[in-house]
Structure 1
Amino acid sequence: MNADHYAAVRRLYETVADLPPSQRSAHLQSLSNDAALIAEVLDLFQAGESATTGWINRPLRGALQDALQSEVKPGDVIGAWRIESELGQGGMGQVFRVARCDGHFEQLAAMKLLQGAPSRERLAHLARERQVLAKLTHPNIARLYDGGETDHGQPYLVMELVDGVAIDRYCQDRQLSRNAILNLFIEASQAVAFAHRQLIVHCDLKPSNLLINRDGRPILLDFGIARLHQDDAAEGDPDPALHAFTPRYASPEQRGGDAITTSSDIFSLGLLLAELLDQHRLSDAELAAVVAKASAEVPSDRYASVDALCDDLRRYQSHQPLLAVRARRTYRTRKFVQRHWPWLLVAALFVVIVSGFTLRVLRESERARAAEHQALADRDHAREAEAASRQTNDFLISIFNASNPNAESGDLKASTLISAAEQRLDTEMKGQPAIQAEILSALGLVQANMGQRDAGRRNLERAIAIERGLDRPLVLATMLMRLSVLVTNTDGIAAGEVFTREALTLRETHGAPDSVELAESLNLMASTLSQSGRPQEAVPMYERALAILKPNYPDSTVLADTYAAYGMHERYFGKLERALLLQEQGLAIAASAYGERHPNYLANQLWYAYTLSALRRSAEAETAFRRNLSLRKALHGDGNMLVVEPMIGLATMLNEAQRPDEALAIAVEAQAITARSASPQSVESIAILNNIAAAHYAKGRFNEAAKACREALDLMAERGDRGPQYVQMQTSLIAYYTQAGDLRHAGLVLDEAEPLAQTLFPADHYLNVTLALNRAAWLLRSGRPSESRALVTKIEAALPKDDPKLSMYETSLRNLHQGLDEVESPK
């Protein structure tokens, strides 16, 4: 059957389709003298009415399909679109990659052509899909661009072309953490929830209909068998599209041919969630309960809506009790402890200290076996450790008993316990320096984690001063590590490096070569070197740490922290995709090792958000920053220093998203908190000034921007921080000075920044390219267009044409060319 013959059959078929069967033959004879053609049309009706499903008999249907498929080939033009290639075939039609060719603008899309004989039911199906898509405008749903019929009457739809991979493969390829999978699933589910609010049921939710695009955004496809909730087909609906669901993900009511509601999609989402989690063995009892409720056999036992399902997943992420779990008292108590662990942390201090002593007992015992001549000294150390552990335990328990006479009140705060411990420590532990040092170090660490930096530093310094008089080098190393982190945050990298290096030396000299403590010191030393602009020294230390941790401690918190820090290093030096991969590996471990409300997990998740922002995945980054901020405020209060870090990240992202008013408001709020709780040289103070400068610049206040940025750079120089962040801030200051018309100061900063960046980064690093573009702009503004033109030509020649970062420089290059053309054109 050729295409012309098919078109003639179709015209006659549609003309008499609405007539009673008894009148069709006579009417067809009045329209055509071709008896064979009339017989063929009548055969179609007979085939459709003879089968209980109403499907067209397969031989005739196959002939029609052959005719249709033979008429469409690459290069054909349908409407405003040129066929480029076939993307695939499904039960309802073929899908082609097409390009717009009407000359108005360039656009790629996907075209769906209806396959098979276009019965009234199939035409109604395509019309329904077009109606459905026309109602759905959502960032996570593929958009409808166009629709119509071919010259031979074959219907088609033109939709958004999604360049992505199925959600299950995306999660598997990237080895996403449990939390990352849940976030992705929740975002994808929002598209389904939106469709439900438009009274549309998708009916075929499965991994291949949820693609993740290049930006990491899930896109919901294929509403080909979707149902308008108020227009459910009557029983015995002959449309095969309504039976074209995927059995593996279909609800019991779909498989049984019963009424379909939004609950059917919730069932499919439950199965999809189970599959995403199970492929990485990331499920647990609570998530299993969520899946069981979503995919219950009886619709009324499922979640009432997609939003309710997503809300339960968010409760899981924040350690709230779940709707899917029966609310036993022990369950709610456990969730309370997970949510409020900082206020209960001091209650576990004695466990931490006892565990520390126990580990030292084991290490000393191993040394005794390895070196027999040290047995006596090791035995004495062990006995001292056992005695100290009992005394430490008794002391901290007595603090709790004295501070909490009413055990039922539930109003015991960490600050109260720490104050009581400090007051009694000198008197009750007098003459026992080992115990004093241990308790002071533990209290200092807790205070630092609670944002009480000055108090934490005092206790850590007291602990170290005592410990230096004892013969316990590895204990001293641990205390030095804690102090180094705190001092780096308050006084700068150079100040902290002294303690970091001493701790590393002690662990290399006195510890085991494959100990987790040595890996911890290597990680911190590498991070210090990275932030001070010494990447060549940092990378070998990160690799040494991973070489120890991956085979020996695959689930340790130190491995999680090392992945996170190494990822941050790679981000600083422009390797964004590798940074994201490292950070995702770290977060997967941290989620189970720490829990998602632990300070270390929140720190790692914050670095991950920064990388998302650097990759221009703004929506995901904003969600991550706001989530981090919300958790920290819930844990520590609105005015605590620990809420400042996500505020800085959020302000940075908002500036990059051209939302300077919001960024400035958050930065000013963060600055007020920092002024009360931190020194002007703190990393937070400097980062906030940088945010304020960027917001002023976006609002056209160039002098204010330059003033704030200059202040931040001067503070960094005082701290001894002249690494990647210093250069990045210099590039901003050059732009601020140039826009303000202060070419002299812009040139001075350029002269300082260029050699420093060339020392720190490879030639093609984006900061070196950005500085070269700044130099070209400065030359142009300084009345030296020929030098500027030569530099622009050199920059463009050096940039690989397939470099994904090329888009970062397009605006600058375009502006430079425009300025040069204006200057060089004849007046």
Structure 2
Amino acid sequence: MTDVDYQRCKDRFLALLEMDAAERDAQLHTLQSEDAALAEAVRRQLEAAGLHLPALDQADAQAAPPAIAQYRLLRELGRGGMGRVWLAERQLGDATQKVALKQILPGAWTTADRRRFERERRILAGLEHPYIAALVDGGTDADGAPYLATVYVDGERLDDYVGRHRCDISARIQLVAKVAAAVAHAHRQMVVHRDLKPANILVGADGEPKLLDFGIARLLGEEALTQTQNSRMTLRYAAPEQVRGDEAGGVAIDVYALGVVLYELLTGVSPYGETSNPSALIAAILDESATVPPSTHATVAGIDADLDAIALRALRKRPHERYASAEALAADLGRWLRREPVEARRGERGYRVRTFIRRRWPWVAAAVVLAALITWHTIALDRQLREVQRERDHAQALADYFGELFMAARPADTERGEVSARELLERSVEKLRADTKQAPQTRAALLLAANAALSQLGRHKEGAAASDLAIELLESMPQKDPAALAGAYVERASDAYKLGDLPGARRYVGQALELLATVDAPDTLLTAQQQAAVYADDAGESAVARAGYERVLAIARTRLDTPRGMRSYLSAQTNLSIADLRIDSAIAEKRLREALEVAAAGGYDAPNLLLPMKAYLARSLVNQRKLTEARPLHEAVLREAREFYGPGDPWLGVIIFHYATLALLDGRAAEAIGLLDARIADVDAAQMPGNDSLWSDRGLRGTAALMHGDWQDAITRLEAVLERRRQRGRGNAPAARFDMAQIAYARCRLDPTPATRAQLAEAMTYAKDWSGWAVWLAKDLTALCDKAVGEFRIGMGTAELVRRSKRHTSAAD
């Protein structure tokens, strides 16, 4: 090694280390023809590392673990061309101590290398500092090879730690300051480390750094062991005097390396750029031109002119221009953390004054603000009083509005029941349209109140007209109120959605969200975010919808103490559970149980949200074949829903749908048919034929006919549902494919032939896309069709299908 440049040898060794045996042999052969001395040195390092090389008969023996009586080796922590480090443990009475055991490899080191290793052991023995990995033992193994043992640091290298933990600027500076303090302690013991770099600084689980590897450290004033010791430095962190081969270099070498480490932690790059060419790197280190300030390449917020000055002073090319010691560098980093003037900027004009103001800015600002407050207070108080008066006026206007609403009706009409709340609300909207006395914002608030009432009565078209007028009034105001206008758009989006205008609903809620980005209106924002997610879900944008629901949850969890926050949380959890039911019913069950527990803990008992949640919880149990557990929950929910909802209410339809599904799977097809027929009649009477839930009911009614053995009735009903899906562009969706399979099964039962059996087999190829109870119920369709084809010319009747369904149920229960 004495005749070969260490850095070239190291670079070649690391490159070959990553290659397989064949490629490594070829590269060594080429290197042999170019530089025989370098090739031989690299061979010795690879041999010491225990790698395969031609004609190395004792590679395995040399790679064997050391035999040290009092230690048990656990695993290898790392290795280089000259030695290895092991995680080991030794017994100390009834206690076990883990250590990092560093061993010199027999045959790989020169006499000078051995002396250097033993000197490292002596140096460590004299260092005792909380940020230096302390020596705990040393000696020789059974083969006479020296070793040393230090405290084991279960951590990661400095740069990896700050990156993985996303440390802020203060945390990074604190780490460097602590390392500098450790280096200063070594300097006081007359020891210069000479190889400071992130790989030699580990940060433990407690967040504290430990300085390692004093392998090329030197006592101040001590002669070098060999003339090539400088080549053992890590070039990227080497000071200019190290690169030039100045053997008299002192503590300034470590100060410079700390400057490089600091620069890299602030920027993520070297002060010299990311060059892998040693010659270019040497030229950059020796170049007298100024280094670019770290703030130019900042990857972390907070790098100011003070930090730039500290880093650049540590990196100055001339040793005497740097900090006089690592202690001085640590002290300046401490001043920066305390927001005090730093020594690196001493002498700058006006610097001390600016720092004084920066450190005491609250007091300076307070003096300025106090003067402004005296003037502003009167204005703000007057504004606040006007706001209170406006709110009082709004409340009074709302109270008057609902009082006059019924006073406007003739007593004779109300006594005979010839006027309804709907008619009164519609009249009030027309009256507000013509009103020019009340302020536009007050009229808009009254119109939105009328909209809410009309919507509750199912008069969505009339409610939308009220919302449009409210938006027009708010838009016409000279000084617009973004929060009020956003609330109006939210209501208009709801109207559009209930009228089946999904694009319009998405447009209105988009306008609301744009306005809400400029104001602080958390309740309205929650509603708008929830709407946007629901509309994306309806548009088939499942990923967008799920992300929206998650955003709602994140906001709502911080506002569970408010009614709007709790409602938004429960609604988002319900919508997410509906999506989960298509993928994993167990996840949906867990989500719904968690949400119901939150509602109970918060004392929330509103049936309009809790009943659908309980219904979906029962549905998640049905999908998992937990029918016995689902049955009492479903029955209780249906009883409560009949008392709470009106006959045509969509949520009552959802709950009846889920209960009818359970009845079918229980073998009670006739009961399911009765429930569904009554539900469909109620919705038809409410004049909502386009309602999507109605078509879901009709689809399940077709399945009920199938389960009841009414083959032709099932075909007729399911074909109508399938046509509806095709009209809406969902003719190839999983639900449509399940309808096709049911139709094919009914045809097979009507006419059990190989042809109808083949049609069913083709339909069943899409079963992998189905979810929930459809998956396990449909498994019997093919078997029953095959049996009908083989044994009968007419259907087997429903008894066998019901019996098989019950068999699945009992197995699941």
Task: Provide TM-score, normalisation by structure 2.
Answer: 0.44
Task: Provide TM-score, normalisation by structure 1.
Answer: 0.43
Higher relative contact order (CA 8 A, sep 6+): 1
Please say which structure displays the higher CA radius of gyration. Answer: 2
